[in-house]
Amino acid sequence: MAKALVVYATITGNNEDVADIITDALEDLGVEVDEVEMTMADPADFEEADICVICPCTY
């Protein structure tokens, strides 16, 4: 089974919503997904993932 990592940063909460949508879509496809706020992400987590999605905030 593929494993995905979805990392997001948000100021207003909008990017967390986007990360949730991406996570749900990947899970619907049978992918195991970890969703993490950017400050809590460990660089080693990226090495274990087959798919990496980053939702950065813009200011």
Residue 1 has pLDDT above 90, yes or no: no
CATH number, residue 44: 3.40.50
Per the structure, the complete domain to which residue 31 belongs is given by: 3-55
Q: What total number of domains does the chain contain?
A: 1
State the pTM of this model: 0.92
Buried (b) or exposed (e) across 8-40, using 16+ Cβ within 10 A? bbbeeeebbeebeebbeebeeeebebebeeeee
Residue 59 has pLDDT above 80, yes or no: no
Give residues with Cβ within 8 angstroms of 1, minimum separation 6: 30, 31, 32
pLDDT tens for 6-54 read 999 999 999 999 999 999 999 999 999 999 999 999 999 999 999 999 9
